[in-house]
Amino acid sequence: MEKKKYICPVCGYDKLKQSPDESYEICSCCGYEFGSCEYYCNSKYPVDIGYEFDYKEDEKFYSYVRKLWIQQGCKWNCSNQMQFKDWNIKKQLSNTGIEDQEIAGLLEDYLYDGPVATFSIIDNIDMEKNYSDANNFIIQKSSVGFFCNMIDFWYPEIANLSTCFNKVSRKEKGLNKSGVTIFPPQSLKEFYKIVDIKTPQDTPQKEKLLKLIIQAQEANKYLIIYGVYGV
């Protein structure tokens, strides 16, 4: 008989092993440890929460922690997050009981913020040039900025995509988190699918990036991304 699973009231993760009201379990997704709200407010997130807080774990408090988690990019706490290939942040948040309109507002207000990565098309590719050198940066009028928080949602699929790190001759997989990633023309079709399906919300940024990918694909050009550090 399969054991009952419980839902995290912070992020909506539906595979908790124990009831949040009766345990000190740590959510594998958002990382919240139940029964430790005082620690969360005074240690993990030492910020002004904007209201008188009595260290009571209720929806008002969970709402606060939820916003912080979203603002930090909805990052998974566990190392085996790669198992969740079809993870959908909107669907998971709906498990908490909040409405679709509120979810959209949370993502718009808190997730679409922070560092921005830049995508550009390489018009004249040099197979041996080191594009991570500041002198070789390619920023064009058609370049597209994209919030790094959004790039996290492309995993695990993006990790298996054929790319190049810093120079075309260095063949790799996924994104270079400490330099520059170059997408060869043969990877652009799959990259388009990843961006289209895995980015959790339609935004002007997403639309522009998809158009840029199509433009590069049709011209058989390489696409380059700068600024993906630590995602």
Tens digits of per-residue pLDDT, 151-165? Answer: 888 888 999 999 999
Give me the pLDDT at residue 43, please. 44
- Interval 22-47 mean pLDDT: 69
Q: Which helix H or strand E contains 120, and what residues bound it?
A: strand 116-122
What confidence score (pLDDT) does residue 115 get?
Answer: 74
Architecture of domain 116-226: 3-Layer(aba) Sandwich (3.40)
Q: Are 120 and 181 in contact (CB under 8 A)?
A: no
Spatial contact of 37 and 60, defined as CB atoms under 8 Å apart: no
Q: Is the pTM of this model over 0.75?
A: no
Please give the residue that has the higher pLDDT: either 124 or 140: 124
Distances (CA, A) of 123 to 120, 126, 138, 216, 223: 9, 10, 9, 9, 9
Query: Hey, what are 106's tokens?
Result: 């949370």
The neighbouring-strand residues paired with 162 are: 173
What pLDDT is stored for residue 47 in this prediction?
41
Distance of CA 135 to the CA centre of its chain: 29
DSSP letter at 176?
Answer: -
How much is the average pLDDT of 44-62?
Answer: 54
The ranges assigned to domains in the chain are: 20-111, 116-226
